[in-house]
Structure 1
Amino acid sequence: MFRIPAAIIAVVLAAVALWWLSRGILPPQTVRFAAGIENGGYWQIAERYQDILARDGIDLKLIPTAGSVENARLMTQGKADAALLQGGVPVGGGVETLGAVFTEPLLIFARSSGGATVSNNPAMWSGLRIAAGAPGSGTRAAVKALLKAAGVTGANTLLPLDGTAASAALADGPADVAVFMAPLSAPYLKPIVSDKSVRLVPLAHIVALSRRVPQSVIVNVPSGAFSLNPPLPADDRQLLGLLARMVAQPDMHPAIVDRLVNAAQLVHQSGDMITPAGQFPTMAHTSLPQNAYARDLIADGPSALSAFLPYWVVAQISRFAILLLPIVFLLLPLLRALPGLYQWSIRNRVFRHYARIREIDEAAAETDNPDTLHALESELAELDREIAGLKLPLPYRGYAYDARLHIDLLRKRIANRAA
């Protein structure tokens, strides 16, 4: 009968075990990323993330969507591993944030002459045709949030137009207002910004609006932010802005979290025209459960081990540290109490006999019967042998010696009474 050598079996079992363990240690090579409208602002940022992750052999597969609302839906359904989400767009499924990564200004443009006059107070808007982004886009969600915050009662028509189509609709007449949620560098903004018949609407009561629109901030746009020759805008403006967040599934591999946060730092830490350097990424104002590893990376920076170990090894070490830290805090009081508990357990092996020694002492004091006294003396002799047979550590042998001395004194007293 053919027998497989034991060495071969051991090698095979070791290989299987190593493969099984590596499934949880090594990161996946492909990550699905919901990136918004193809060639839009989110898409262009996601492409920069894609290039950075490719350096570590990770394929960031970009999923084109209608915008933040569809991104959130894909995340809730588990059809995307990570995504960019506009501030204020809700998402379920336990999705966690990896941090806010940039501020999106809410850019509202209206014709400065001809057509409907657009008030700076959105509460006065009524009967307007607003190019408000496609259904499922973050722009449309932001427009609805703004109208709700302003308490608009009049009917307005939300046109499913965004990007270049929205700019053209405002220039050609089908739209009275065009709203964009986009970085100032978005290419489709250039023609509308340079059009002298179009104005950037400065919202009235912007502080009150910012406190009513979820996850909004006030953005300072300096003069010349779009262009310096001529300077556009001509003077400083305050606009509403929403914080864009990077989100991930709650079970995302920590090494992928590490690489995504690293990409966000490389892309966004330098700041832009409306954001000072070093502000992003941040965990402030994210309104979602925070990924613990991403939170520590943003707060403390990369581990010192990163200089010596691969990123995926460091990520696993950091993950275990995060998990073990609460356990250590719980065990620390117990660890401090262990020496005392050990000493008590050793002493108790001797001291538990003292209860019976005391009973014998009291019984001997209450009787003069020789037979009873001899029986008590015999019991003391048995206790003495039992204590002498205890295996105690050397530092604790003194407890046994003291107990045997007490027994010896009591035996002598009982012998004298019996005589």
Structure 2
Amino acid sequence: MSEAGNSREGRIEAARRRLRNLRPASVVSWRDALATLLPIVLLMALAVFATEHFIRPAPPHKLTMAGGPEGSNFRTVAEKYQKILARSDIALEIVPSRGSANNLDLLVDRQVDIALVQSGVTREGGTDDLRSLGTMFRQPVSIFYRSDKLFTRLSEMAGMRIAIGRPGSGNRFLALALLKGNGIEPGGKTQLLDIEGEAASAALTKHEVDAIFLSGDSASIRTVRQLMRAEGIRLFDFVQGEAYERRFRYLNRLQLPAGAFDLGANLPEKPITMMAPTVELLAHADLHPALSDLLVEAAQEVHSRSSLMQNPREFPHPIEHDYPMSDDAARYYKSGKGLAYRFLPFWLASLVNRAAVILVPMLVVLIPALRFAPDIYGWRINRRIYKRYGELMALERATLEPMTPEQRTALLQRLAEIEKSMINAKVPGAYADQSYILRRHIQFVREGLVSAEARKPDDTTPVTG
């Protein structure tokens, strides 16, 4: 074989290797894909950020609650809440207090998260942030006195030694209000003593005081029953109950039947009318919705049973008194627990709810964005081709104008540059047909330029007219 033949075969083999090494056109233009998807990703991130800004964080695992004095009904209720919340791994810390008024102060000063407060107990300022989680139970005021005479009006206690409870208790607040309504106020001939609960009961038994006011935040039911059985001590009967109810809007009449405290001894001996304010569970307006649900659920477990003072399922209920009802609590009373909280443990339900709140805006953005993403991607690819068409049309218009040989050469060079740029452009295979069509049009303009040059008349040809 000749040397020329070997050389030719070598060139053919080199060409084949070069063809084998050629990379096919990319299926996707990653630059355009990135430019298309990046705004979608940024928009989703913005939606998630905005959602995170407006939704609550994960619920805390610790709450603080103002309890009443040791042994009081308030303290007993708080301890029941504590046990129920512990099932959901929520630690409830009970902060000792002197009663309703002190509970309200602790709540306003943000020393506690939640508190039981007797209706009618208010304070000036600082309560705009408070919300009610519902009315939990009645708290009858029990007035015991020692006298041979049966009293029918509180005004008959003028001049006596009366234990009204310590400052800060709802018992004291209510006692002062009722006594004032009967013309008995501090500073007069009646001695108003800061004694409450067990101490007040013992003082009455020992003849150290003549009358005492007891209520749920200062004494237990056990203390009330002991006094009912004590010799010489009477339970005050609010025979003017309707008048008290109309004058003090936060009071309700409660008819206690004969024998309610002791059937065997028939205590009381006849029906007695008692006055009972209700007790609300108060919290701050920013209480986490999940914790609000847990607390109302705990309240239903604790307070829905029948007792001496209430009918079954009478409490809790969402009736507003001194403070507006929490939106979360009102929603719970109306529709109950959320779907996730019904079937999942508290911590997992909280996680699912938060994930759902974040996923919803993401899907709202993502689904329409992905629907239009292919169109945006195709528009970016076509825009590069259409841009060359604009240049090509401008060059074609230039061919209609008189031009020098140098100008014609420059136009042909520009056409070659446009064609080369399209050959080197990374256009996905799906859009290659438009690229080849453009190159045909480039060739069409080039042929127009060449044929125009060929048809150009000779400058020496005479012009006839």
Q: Shorter-chain-normalised TM-score: which range? A: 0.5 to 0.7
Q: Out of 131, 137, 155, which is 1:96 matched to?
A: 131
CA distance in 2, matches of 1:123, 1:194: 25
Deviations 1:242-293 (A, max 9, x none): 1011000111111111111111000001121120111111122522011011
Matches within 5 A, 1:2-401: 24-91=56-123, 92-113=127-148, 119-152=151-184, 155-182=189-216, 186-311=221-346, 313=349
8 Å CA contact 1:118, 1:125 repeated in 2: no
Pairwise CA RMSD = 2.9
8 Å CA contact 1:221, 1:236 repeated in 2: yes
8 Å CA contact 1:87, 1:214 repeated in 2: no
For CA contacts below 8 A with separation 6 or more, give which structure has more relative contact order. 2
8 Å CA contact 1:101, 1:268 repeated in 2: yes
TM-score (ref. length: structure 1):
0.66
**Cα 1:286/1:70, change in 2 over 3 Å:** same
CA distance in 2, matches of 1:314, 1:30: 15
CA distance in 2, matches of 1:258, 1:100: 15
Q: Which amino acid counterpart does residue 48 of structure 1 have in structure 2?
A: K
Instruction: Give 5+ residue unaligned stretches, structure 1.
Output: 1-13, 325-419
8 Å CA contact 1:124, 1:152 repeated in 2: no
CA distance in 1, matches of 2:282, 2:268: 33
SS of residue paired to 1:231: coil
Aligned residue pairs, count: 302
Name which one, 1 or 2, has greater alpha-carbon Rg: 2
Deviations 1:367-388 (A, max 9, x none): xxxxxxxxxxxxxxxxxxxxxx
CA distance in 2, matches of 1:215, 1:282: 15
Deviations 1:320-357 (A, max 9, x none): 99xx9xxxxxxxxxxxxxxxxxxxxxxxxxxxxxxxxx
CA distance in 2, matches of 1:72, 1:172: 33
Instruction: Give 5+ residue unaligned stretches, structure 2.
Output: 1-44, 361-465
Deviations 1:72-127 (A, max 9, x none): 111111111000111111152421110110001110111143xxx57321234311
Q: Which amino acid counterpart does residue 168 of structure 1 have in structure 2?
A: A
SS of residue paired to 1:204: coil
1:156 positional shift: 2.1
Q: In the alignment, which residue of structure 2 is the partner of 1:378?
A: none
1:304 positional shift: 4.3
8 Å CA contact 2:132, 2:320 repeated in 1: no
CA distance in 1, matches of 2:343, 2:223: 45
SS of residue paired to 2:214: strand
TM-score (ref. length: structure 2):
0.60
